[in-house]
Amino acid sequence: MDKSKKSLIKTIADLFKTERERTDDKIYETVIETVDKMSPGMKGEPGSPGEPGATGSPGEPGTDRIAIAPRRIAGDVSVEKNELVYSQGGLFQAIRRSDGDPENDPGSYECVISGVAEVEFTEQWETRTLDVYARLSDGGIQKASFPMGPRFLKSVAGVKIIEGDWLYNGKHLLIAETDDAVWPDGWTDINLSIKGEQGSRGRRGVPGDQGARGIGIADIGIEQNHIIVELTNGEIKTLNIDYVGGEQPEQPIKSYQGYYDKDSTYIAGDVVTTASGLFLALVNDPGGDLLDSERWAKMLGTLNQPGGFLQAPMVWRGAWRASEYKTSEVVTDEGWLMISNTKTSDRAAPQPTGGEFVPSSLEPLFPPVFAPQSFASADIITIVQRYTFANAGMINGFRYYVPPSLEGSAMRVSVVTDPVGNPNSAIMIPEFTIPTGVGDQWVTKDVNRFSPANQVYDVVMQILPTAGEITFTGDWDYIQDNGGDPGAGQIYHNGGGNTDTIYINETDDAAADRSAELDLLSAGSSIVMTGGLTWQIDVITKTGGVYTATVTPASRAGEQLTTFAFTYYGLGTIDYFTDAAFFTAATGIQSFAIAAVYDPLTALTSDCQMMDLVVQGYAESPDWDFMSVAGDVSASGSSALDSMDYQFDSLSATVTDVSNVWPVDPDTVGVDQVQVRIQHDVSGGLYQFGLSTTAQINATGNSIETRFSLDGGTSWEQQEKESKDGTDRLFTDYLFPLPLDAGPVDLIVQVKKENAANTLDVFFANVWLTRVK
């Protein structure tokens, strides 16, 4: 008998004993026998839940879960041992306490997960590939190469040719027919300067098969901002009216920033060039996606470029002939390269409407009659006449009348377009010396400038006396600062929207009072910063011991303690001539009162000053836009390649010399620097200036310095690059438009080390100048 049965028996027995005095053992035995014969009973119903037990005592605290939340660090930061951090694109764990990131203290970290720290792109023109180098967080380098597409080439020297490459010089369009094309057999030469004879009419072609039945328009209507078109085949097309026209961004253009650089920061109004066209930034810091229409607006797309586009594809139609042209069709007409902006039958090129004339001479028999005037104790005078071109015209020359006392004086001439709207200044004639033997005569200098209709120009002539230039030098600490006055030995240069303002303390770095010399500076004086920029003073005033100068260009240099050269013209008497109220009966010409500085808001007069233009009238069609102006390039030689107005210089070198200073005289090139240079006589026009360098320095604490000069070494623009490790190849490229007048140019590019140590290898140093308009 199992224990459960015995327990049950005892319970029943106790029950009987309780109720029947439990004294009879017979009863007990009877119960035992009965229970032994009993079969198991059915399972009873569950009982009701019992009362909750007492609350137990609190248990021991549990262990926190492990959380991985690496923080992003850079530079000098404190990191504890075993801490996970994110830096240089990867995940690192500190193996000891550190006060720097993995780049500055690599021995204190292990790279857990490697990412991409930096990406660089290199164009390999010898192989026509784009090499992409990715530097990983753990120091590794990964490289991928992609083939370049066909594009416009400035020169074929040292470049692998691929099918579709093209060159253009204003008279010839050259297209490569095959890879590695050899001139001239492998190129298609389209001569844009010669109008061919009319060919004979071709024979009528064989009739083609009958085409499918055309689909016409059954109905058309407008609903809100949509045009609803029902076709004869039952289809319905919906056109959004908002997108019928081209892009018309409201953002005004502020400045041209050259070729797009992924490492540069741009602001709204900046215009950049890429292989795909010309783009306008619509917002500050717009990012690198130039196809993001909310951040960039395309102004002009290129033809046959990967990713290039136009409002409508350009179609080459050859020489212009009297017929109808559609939008974006390109023709050549009497040396002009034109593109249609609408459907038109107008003549493409502007047409002369008469001979040359001088606007100031109302009639040949009535030239200006000048009365002598003079400025006493002056170091510069500015003479301005404003010309309004109601019709298109070609400016072929600039004339000036010479008082005898001005022979041998210096003169310079500039032109300001739209002076009271969106002014744009350009040099018309660089500074020159008035020749002797021309007193009381008109002297004409050649100019080649086309003016569309409805343009306003201020022609600004500045004359400096024969007393000559006077220069003094001193050392100041040049500081980029936006507030307060500079202390002794300091020069402050404003930033933001006031980069045209420089503040100079009268005391130099040697504690010498230079006020007696600084007091002689005036409009037209210049400031030359050694190793930096050259500024021309437009206005200068003095308050206390600080001079405030408004300067051109509005650009800041790098901070440094250096030598400044201040140049002014000695005071003298400057004679000039005026014919009062001469323009009373004329229209389109006004003048300013003679002054020291140019101010476009000066009250206008009808006086004729001692200057004028030589102009020829032209009629132009509004249906055509200019791509290239006639006469831009003069052919020389027998081939199209020989006729290009293009200059180039290139070399390579290793720089190991201990000297690391820029030379004062660019004609003397030391072994510690690399220099490429263009010295050339050019015809007036718009050029593209370009430089490119590829170099390597075997150190991380030294920099590669590159500078260039557009004026033969008088002033310089400089930049620096420092490698991440001693095997990096760093490249620099820079392109920008450069208007030039006819005459000599002297363009220089130099490369050197920042410090004397280490070795610098310059693999390529190039400079080029190409005429584009």
**DSSP output for 689-751:** EEEEEEEEES-SS-EEEEEEESSTTSS-EEEEEE-SSTT--EEEEEEEEEEE-SEEEEEEEEE
Does residue 501 have a pLDDT over 60?
yes
The arithmetic mean of pLDDT across residues 308-330, rounded, is 71
Q: Is residue 637 part of a domain?
A: no
Query: In the prediction, which pLDDT does 564 show?
Result: 94
Q: Is residue 378 part of a domain?
A: yes
Does residue 474 have a pLDDT over 90?
yes
Give the residue from 553, 516, 557 showing the smallest Cα distance to 537: 553
Phi-psi region of 386 (alpha: psi -120 to 50; beta: other; left: phi over 0): beta
Q: Is residue 40 part of a domain?
A: no
39-53, 715-729, 731-745: the lowest-pLDDT one: 39-53
Q: Are residues 382 and 321 in the same domain?
A: no
613: containing domain: 359-467+572-617
Residue 731: C-alpha distances to residues 696, 699, 706 (Å)? 9, 16, 10
Does residue 672 have a pLDDT over 70?
no
Between 369 and 560, residue with greater pLDDT: 560
The arithmetic mean of pLDDT across residues 411-436, rounded, is 84
Give dist(CA 533, CA 527) in Å, integer.
8
Q: Are residues 517 and 400 in the same domain?
A: no
The arithmetic mean of pLDDT across residues 1-7, rounded, is 61
56-70, 191-205, 376-390: the lowest-pLDDT one: 191-205
Does residue 642 have a pLDDT over 50?
no
Q: Are 718 and 532 in contact (CB under 8 A)?
A: yes
Q: Is residue 62 part of a domain?
A: no
Query: In the prediction, which pLDDT does 594 show?
Result: 85
pLDDT tens sequence across 154-186: 767 678 888 888 776 555 677 888 888 875 567
The arithmetic mean of pLDDT across residues 607-631, rounded, is 81
Q: Are residues 334 and 443 in the same domain?
A: no
Q: Is residue 260 part of a domain?
A: yes
Under the banding of pLDDT at 50, 70 and 90, the label for residue 674 is confident
What count of other Cβ atoms lies within 10 Å of the Cβ of residue 690? 21
Q: Are residues 694 and 752 in the same domain?
A: yes
- Angle at which helix 3-19 crosses helix 25-37, to 10 degrees, equals 140
What count of other Cβ atoms lies within 10 Å of the Cβ of residue 432? 12
Give dist(CA 495, CA 478) in Å, integer.
13
Q: Is residue 730 part of a domain?
A: yes
Q: Of the ranges 257-261, 418-422, 494-498, 631-635, which is most confident?
A: 418-422
Residue with tokens 């260009």: 553
Domain with residue 761: its CATH number is 2.60.120.660
Q: Are residues 463 and 577 in the same domain?
A: yes
Under the banding of pLDDT at 50, 70 and 90, the label for residue 242 is very low
Q: Are residues 557 and 579 in the same domain?
A: no
Q: Are 415 and 426 in contact (CB under 8 A)?
A: yes
Q: Are residues 577 and 524 in the same domain?
A: no
The arithmetic mean of pLDDT across residues 29-39, rounded, is 65
Domain count, the chain: 8
Query: How large is the C-alpha radius of gyration of the chain?
Result: 42
Q: Are residues 504 and 408 in the same domain?
A: no
Under the banding of pLDDT at 50, 70 and 90, the label for residue 646 is very low
454-458, 535-539, 738-742: the lowest-pLDDT one: 738-742
Question: Hey, what's the torsion of the CAs at 263, 268, 272, 276, to 10 degrees?
Answer: 100
Looking only at the bridges linking them, the beta strands covering 424-433 and 410-417 are antiparallel
Give the pTM. 0.38
pLDDT tens sequence across 584-609: 655 678 899 888 778 888 889 888 88
The arithmetic mean of pLDDT across residues 488-510, rounded, is 87
Under the banding of pLDDT at 50, 70 and 90, the label for residue 365 is very low
Query: In the prediction, which pLDDT does 696 show?
Result: 85
Q: Are residues 547 and 603 in the same domain?
A: no
Q: Are residues 292 and 324 in the same domain?
A: no
Domain with residue 530: its CATH number is 2.40.30
Q: Are residues 577 and 443 in the same domain?
A: yes
Q: Which of 540, 568, 596 is the last residue of a domain?
A: 568
The arithmetic mean of pLDDT across residues 748-770, rounded, is 81
Give dist(CA 485, CA 585) in Å, integer.
52
Q: Is residue 595 part of a domain?
A: yes
Q: Is residue 679 part of a domain?
A: yes
Give dist(CA 490, CA 481) in Å, integer.
11
Under the banding of pLDDT at 50, 70 and 90, the label for residue 518 is very high
Q: Are residues 119 and 15 in the same domain?
A: no
What count of other Cβ atoms lies within 10 Å of the Cβ of residue 521? 21
